Structure 1
Amino acid sequence: MTLPVESLPGPDDIIRRELSNGIVVLVRENFNARSVVLAGSLDAGAAFDPPDAHGLAAITASALLRGTETRDFAAIHELLESNGASLSISGGLHTVGFSGKGLAEDLPMLFDLVGDALRHPAFPTGQVERLRGEIITGLKIREKDTRYMAARTFRELAYPAGHPYSRQPEGRLATVAAITRDQMSAFHRTHYGPRGMLVVIVGAVNAERALSLVEETFGAWENPDQPAMPLAPDGVGLDAARTQTITLPDKSQIDLVLGVPGPPRRADEWQAATLANAVLGVFGMYGRIGAEVREKRGLAYYSYSRLDGGMGPGPWRVIAGVNPANVERALEAIRGEIRRIVSEPVQESELADVKANFIGRLPLQLETNEGVAGSILSMERYELGLDYLRRYPDLIVSITPEAALDAAQRYLDPDVYALALAGPELPDFSESAPTEAQSEA
């Protein structure tokens, strides 16, 4: 399909500026709506968690809007609600992300709040304990959820111990319970600062005005001791099948995750891998896996594949929910489709349909200020260039069946993978070459 790329955000209408302390600011004016979106990130994610305090980065980020040196929790949220605005801060594997939305005239207020929260949090004891209780309650619920436990166990199998991607950012029950307020305060002092920080503003605001608000809020921020973000090591991989079963009593369904470490977002083969993955388990009714495992054979309640891009080798995996009686046959069918995607080029017609979908949905992703802000943030974070969205259709069109095959062959192997299963006991399960004993959650 033909896409008018000149209408997409690009170098001529995205203003990019770097402050003296290293913060990168990107602004795109859009006066077709009265709203404005503020989004950004800074390098203070779970990759910095100490081995005995997993979850520290996440709870620290979540506590930032629970009270600052000048505002308590009620004052912060009363200010937002009285103006019909929103603001959130959350921690991920590598970064802490923040996002806010309001009317254009409320942008100074949003900057005042986000600057106060990021730079001057108070970590009030009562709110910290309330937050801790909420997180622990959530973890207790998730640890009885078969899908969550399969996903968590898969990461532990697929990545070496100590790799940032081997654990969930929210931590474990024991580590979250033990994290102290002093640890949170110390983590903030050490890891929060302008190094690696990105700020994106999109909406009905003059670009120079937006840039001046960033300068007023963050221009004087310094943290000379702030460490550089540790890279998620590439080159991780598996040399044999690794399987672990988590037994959760009183469950009726097995959830499984089968996959490998995949390509980083900046990898040359990333786009080819995303197209191969769409064919494998996304496009239409969840691709070939959905068609074969669920629709044709009736072996799964749901089945699809997913490829996560990130700073490091994010997982490429198949996810399915199956009847315990169908586990072995479902795995056989899934591995059969993986074998097929790495053994023969995708048909031109099949790839053409996926390409049309990728290109056709791009304008829909950019219909809102939030969508544009998210795209600009990703373009800057992964060094894709401000012209990336305008180059995107040609990038997709240029991918050949051979390129998709090469990308799949580089990462996927039907006989070498990490496999995590969670659900009722499987006494007759005989998946070959398990390296982990079956265990109780």
Structure 2
Amino acid sequence: MSERNGLRYGLLGLAVLILLALLLLVVRRPDAPATQAVPADSAKIESLTEINGQAPSRRNLEIQTWQTAEGAKVLFVEARELPMLDLRLTFAAGSSQDDGVQGLAMLTNAMLNEGVPGKDVGAIAAGFESLGAEFGNGAYRDMAVASLRSLSAADKREPALQLFNQVIGQPTFPEDALARIKNQLLAGFEYQKQNPGKLASLQLFERLYGEHPYAHPSEGNEGSVPTISREQLQAFHAKAYAAGNAVIALVGDLSRAEAEALTAEVSAALPAGPALPIIAQPDVPQAGASHIEFPSNQTHLMIAQLGIDRRDPDYAALFLGNQIFGGGGFGTRLMSEVREKRGLTYGVYSGFSAMQVRGPFMINLQTRAELSAGTLQLIKDLLRDYLASGPTQEELDNAKRELAGSFPLSTASNAAIVGQLGSMGFYDLPLSHLEDFMREVQALGVEQVKAAMAKHLDPEALVIVSAGPTVAQQELPPPSDKPVEQPSAVPEH
């Protein structure tokens, strides 16, 4: 550094020091208004380590419930923090109600906003957009949903609700839109043929559920979709989108009286009719492995058996037990043994999908084709050991702390709350479900979790589907803190 530059930087540093001193004098002025003083505690950012093991505070929901004149169940939470409302309708109108016409439920739901009397899909979209409102919809195995997010001011809320009621109650199912969406689905089916993970999933559900309605995919297949007619959509809508088959969840800037009036309008806009009967429980499938030959570098492994329905009393114990085994991301037994110690995969996960009737327990991953047999055996051994020994106390305590820290996010926004309300109403859970769930989880011991997992899972009853190439198999690398082997490619989808 030259002498001139040194002098320049020295003067600059002196100027900065003088400025900081002046600012400090201003901040410490004795005549500063008392109202500007901020208590030290209120500005402090607290660490989770300071809560002494207690769960963070969670939004306290005061859930109100009633039934409309037409038979729809309503769950409402008044939330005045934002000038908005979130409305979610949940119907027992998923693909389990297809009644032999695969894809009917999904196609009906997808067509809701394609046309109403006097408006096509473009006019409907423009109508919601002009009001700052959002429409959403979707169909799954158990349920179909339709949702509205709107400003709560009457001049925005009322026209948005009027348009929403037309969409859910008076869809015209125009023929041109039906042809367009069918073509989109058919293109998707062609793409699925190049996706080994999707092929494995389709075969897994077929083997797991046999003739049960859960066996087929919600979107149908290339043989069923082209034959679905506009008249079938109209008939399904009249039956499955009936008010008696609906749960209305509502959260937002509304009074009880306003909420009652709003939900009465929604209910009256729907077709009249009762709730559809719940489907039968599936039969236990035959265990064993099957393989789909596919030219790829990696092999997809999907391992499953029947799990539980959503009202099973062991739900909390199984949720916590699975978080430790493979449902909680990094730190689970599966991730630790399969990825971190051996480098066999980018990710391996397990989970219970609790549904109206027994949903699947699934483990899925993809690994290098030449190590697929060893990886599958490792996972089976890990499951067998976990069911026999259960979690350690340390694993249980860590999972409880993690869940206590993350669970408040389930009610952190109005959108999250309306989703919880819809699920609670659809699966007929008590209004105290969220509090009950956390209380049950925190009270669980090692033996209770072990007993629940061993009761519902059997390492000898696994349904296994693999998709990938048939290649010579290699022995697995030994476990290591720094595994030499790494996955050969980004996971294939």
TM norm structure 2: 0.81
CA distance in 2, matches of 1:406, 1:107: 51
Query: How far apart are 1:427 and its partner, in Å?
Result: 7.1
Q: Report the counterpart of residue 432 of structure 1 in structure 2.
A: none
Matched, 1:89 2:89: no
- In the TM superposition, residue 28 of structure 1 has moved relative to its aligned partner by 1.1
Root-mean-square deviation over aligned CA pairs: 2.0
Cα distance in 1 for residues equivalent to 2:58 and 2:352: 29
Match 2:224 to one of 175, 197, 209:
175
CA distance in 1, matches of 2:83, 2:288: 53
1:46–1:54 CA contact under 8 A, matched in 2: yes
How big is the shift at 1:426?
4.8
Residue number in structure 2 paired with 1:265? 310
Task: Look up the match of 2:168.
Answer: 118
- The SS at the match of 1:195 is helix
Equivalent residues of 2:59, 2:411 under 8 A apart: no
The SS at the match of 2:183 is helix
For the 8 Å contact 1:94–1:229, the answer to whether it is kept is: no
Go from structure 1 to structure 2 and tell me whether the alpha carbon gap of 1:143 and 1:216 turns closer, same or farther (over 3 Å shift): same
- Aligned: 1:318 with 2:328: no
State the match for 1:151 in structure 2.
Answer: 201
| 1:232, distance to aligned residue in structure 2 (A) | 4.1
SS at match of 2:243: coil
In structure 1, C-alpha distance between the alignment counterparts of 2:354 and 2:91, rounded to whole Å: 18
1:276·1:408 contact (CA, 8 Å) conserved in 2? Answer: yes
Q: 2:112 is paired with a residue of what secondary structure? A: helix
Contact 1:302 1:322 in 2 (8 A): no
Tell me the CA shift for residue 136 of structure 1: 1.7
- For 2:291, the equivalent position in structure 1 comes to 245
Distance 1:173 1:195, change over 3 A: same
Structure 1 residue 407: deviation in Å?
A: 1.8
The answer to which structure, 1 or 2, has the higher relative contact order (CA under 8 A, 6+ apart) is 1
Give secondary structure in 1 for the equivalent of 2:116: coil
The reply to whether residue 2 of structure 1 matches residue 54 of structure 2 is yes
2:420 counterpart of 1:375: yes
Matched, 1:187 2:233: no
Residue identity (%)? 25
Task: Tell me which amino acid in the other structure corresponds to 1:118.
Answer: I
Once residues 280 and 118 of structure 2 are traced to their aligned partners in structure 1, the CA distance between those partners, rounded to angstroms, is: 37
- Counterpart amino acid of 2:149? K
Paired residues of 2:300 and 2:467 also in contact (CA < 8 A): yes
Greater shift in the superposed pair: 418-427 or 274-283: 418-427
Q: Is this contact kept in 2: 1:142–1:149, CA < 8 A?
A: yes
SS in 1 for 2:248: strand
Distance in 2, Cα, partners of 1:179 & 1:160: 23
Gapped runs of 5+ residues in structure 2? 1-52, 475-493
Partner of 2:266: 217
Distance 1:31 1:227 in 2: 32
Give structure 1 stretches of 5+ with no counterpart. 430-441
Amino acid at match of 1:133: N
Q: Is the 8 A contact 1:260 1:411 kept in 2?
A: no
Q: 1:6 to 1:192 in 2, by over 3 A?
A: closer
Contact kept in structure 2, 1:157 and 1:242, CA below 8 Å: no
Cα distance in 2 for partners of 1:245, 1:273 equals 29
Quick one: which amino acid aligns to residue 8 of structure 1?
N
Corresponding letter in the other structure for 1:173 = E
Cα distance, 1:427–1:241 mapped onto 2, change above 3 Å: farther
Q: CA deviation at 1:100?
A: 2.0
Q: Which amino acid is 1:94 matched to? A: D
SS at match of 1:267: coil
Which consecutive aligned stretches of 4+ in structure 1 deviate over 6 angstroms post-superposition?
Answer: none
* 1:306–1:376 CA distance, 2 compared to 1 (3 A): same
Once the two structures are superposed, residues 110-165 of structure 1 have per-residue CA deviations (whole angstroms, 9 ceiling, x without a partner) of: 3223321222110101111111112222222223212222222111111232x122
Q: Which residue of 2 aligns with 1:134?
A: 184
- Select between 406-415 and 261-270 the one with higher mean Cα deviation: 406-415
Q: What is the distance in 1 between the residues matched to 2:468 and 2:160?
A: 45
Mapped pair 1:59 → 2:123: no
Say which SS state the counterpart of residue 87 (structure 1) adopts. strand
SS at match of 2:297: coil
Structure 2 counterparts to residues 341-380 of structure 1, below 5 A? 341-380=386-425
- Residues 1:189 and 1:391: Cα distance change in structure 2 (over 3 Å): closer
Q: How many residue pairs were aligned?
A: 420
Q: Is the 8 A contact 1:158 1:417 kept in 2?
A: no
Q: Distance in 2 between matches of 1:154 and 1:286?
A: 27
SS in 1 for 2:362: strand
Secondary structure of the residue aligned to 1:297 is coil
Letter in 1 for 2:320: L
1:340-360 CA distances to partner (integer Å, 9 max, x unpaired)? 121012111111111111221
For the pair 1:201 / 2:244, whether they are aligned, the reply is no
Q: 1:328 to 1:247 in 2, by over 3 A?
A: same
2:380 aligns to what? 335
Alpha-carbon separation, structure 2, partners of 1:252 and 1:424: 7
The match for 2:468 among 418, 423, 431 is: 423
Q: Which of residues 45, 59, 63 in structure 1 aligns to 2:94? A: 45
SS at 1:384's partner residue? coil
How far did 1:425 drift?
3.7
User: For residue 336 of structure 1, what is the amino acid of its counterpart?
Assistant: D
User: What TM-score do you get using the length of structure 1 for normalisation?
Assistant: 0.90
Return the offset for 1:6. 7.6
Give the deviation of 1:221 after TM superposition: 4.5
